[in-house]
Amino acid sequence: MTLMLLFGLMTAAAIFAVLWPLSRRNTKAGGSDIAVYRDQLSEIDRDSAAGLIATPEAEAAKVEVSRRLIAAADAAAVERSGPEIPPLRRRRIAAIAALVLLPVGAVSLYLILGSPQMPGEPLAARMRAPERNRSIESLIAQVEDRLQKNPADGRAWEVLAPVYMRLGRFDEAVRAWGHVINLNGSTAAREASYGEAVVAAANGVVTADAKASFERALKLDPNDVMARFYMGMAADQDGRRADAEKIWNDLLAGAPPGAPWIEGVRQALAQKAPAGTPPAANGPGPTPDDVANVAKMPPDQQREMIRGMVARLADKLKQDGSDVEGWQRLLRAYTVLGERDKAQAAAADARRALAGDPNKLRNLNEVIKNLGLEG
């Protein structure tokens, strides 16, 4: 409303600027003044000849009138050299054109080039939006609007999916990559990207859905780096650390010089404990010295040491049952030890402890399913 009022005032100002010069009258006083002064000079000459005024007074009067005559003649010359004022009829036509054409032209131009249908946005909302995010959010909104009109646009989904991943909108990235595969077909890169989004949405857990996607990617391209890396992660989360390390070491052995993913694989290898030991828990659990001691022990003593670590982890989870990663480590440890009954009992305890947090419960259930502890 304020914008329309501003446009109206600007149009009125433009009309006034056009009408103001057209309102001037075509009156030039210079010619009539010259005639009056010439009559006065003639009258002074007659009065002087008739003896009505003395000669000195007549001369003085003639000098004054002559001065005024010269000034009037100069003014008339300047007025004649100025812009010519058009006749009344042409001025009226110009005034009507200004009153009608200017508003009509302005409105027509706005309707063609402007966006009158776009709703306004509160100033406070615009001020709260960070400047760096406005452009990308507006682009996302444009693509989403396009997809609402044409949800079968596979190219638009493929543009949007990686953007969702970069912004941390993982659930939306999963949905987008699913549409890409359904609409554009399955490729190794698309299957791996879909699996990566599923892992991100599950807080780093390689779920059954994600693992199946990576397996499909490797069938299409056995050398797909992303799929191989996450298959190593899946093996590690399933307690098969030796398999995970083999997958990652094979990746490094075949890596081209300067590959950007090399450091990530090295970090994954560096974070893993020796084969046969369960992952360490935050707080109670194996320290680096514990791991070194376990490696030096005979097999029977190694097993007892591992059981002690697992027991400390179980005690910790009894005190704080909200640690979903701790429950996942405990389930994998019991599985590695071959103690399936304890693993199933721990799974039931974990579900009860995490019942109030749907996201954590979902992640836990994925691990339970991957470890085959259902029922």
Averaged pLDDT of the chain = 75
Q: What is the pLDDT of residue 87?
A: 61
pLDDT per residue as tens digits for the range 107-123: 777 666 666 556 655 54
In the prediction, which pLDDT does 189 show? Answer: 93
pLDDT score, position 179: 93
- SS3 of residue 317 by DSSP: helix
d(CA 323, CA 259): 35
Q: Is the pLDDT of residue 182 over 70?
A: yes
| Residue 10, pLDDT score | 75
pLDDT of 216 reads 95
> What is the length of the chain?
375
Instruction: Supply the pLDDT for residue 299.
Output: 55
d(CA 110, CA 119): 15
* Amino acid 127: pLDDT: 47
Question: Does residue 42 register a pLDDT over 90?
Answer: no
pLDDT of amino acid 344 = 87
Q: Quick check: 194 pLDDT over 90? A: yes
pLDDT of residue 371: 79
Q: Sorting pLDDT into bands at 50, 70 and 90, what band is 170?
A: confident
Other C-beta atoms closer than 10 Å to the C-beta of 234 total 24
Three-state secondary-structure class, residue 55:
helix
Whole-number pLDDT of residue 40: 76
More confident call, 25 vs 249: 249
pLDDT of residue 292: 45
Question: Of 1-5, 153-157, 221-225, which range is least confident?
Answer: 1-5
Whether 31 has a pLDDT exceeding 60, the answer reads: no
pLDDT digits (tens, 9 = 90+) for 80-89: 555 554 565 6
pLDDT-based confidence at residue 338 (cuts at 50, 70, 90): confident
CA 73 to chain centre: 73
Q: pLDDT tens for residues 245-279?
A: 999 999 988 888 888 888 888 888 887 444 444 44
Name which of 64, 25, 27, 26 is nearest 44 in CA terms.
64
Residue 280: the pLDDT is 40
Q: What local confidence, expressed as pLDDT, does residue 122 receive?
A: 55
pLDDT digits (tens, 9 = 90+) for 50-78: 777 777 777 777 778 777 777 777 666 65
Q: Tell me, what's the pLDDT at 298?
A: 54
pLDDT score, position 285: 43
- Would you state the pLDDT for residue 184? 92
Task: Flag the least confident range among 18-32, 38-52, 108-122.
Answer: 18-32
Are the CB atoms for 257 and 301 separated by under 8 Å?
Answer: no
Residue 322 and residue 360 in contact, taking contact as beta carbons nearer than 8 Å: yes
Average pLDDT over residues 314-336: 82
Residue with tokens 């396009």: 146
pLDDT at res. 123:
47
Q: Across residues 136-158, what is the average pLDDT?
A: 84
Of all residues in the chain, the percent with pLDDT exceeding 90 is 15
Cα–Cα distance for residue pair 252/158, rounded to 1 Å:
29
Q: What confidence score (pLDDT) does residue 120 get?
A: 58
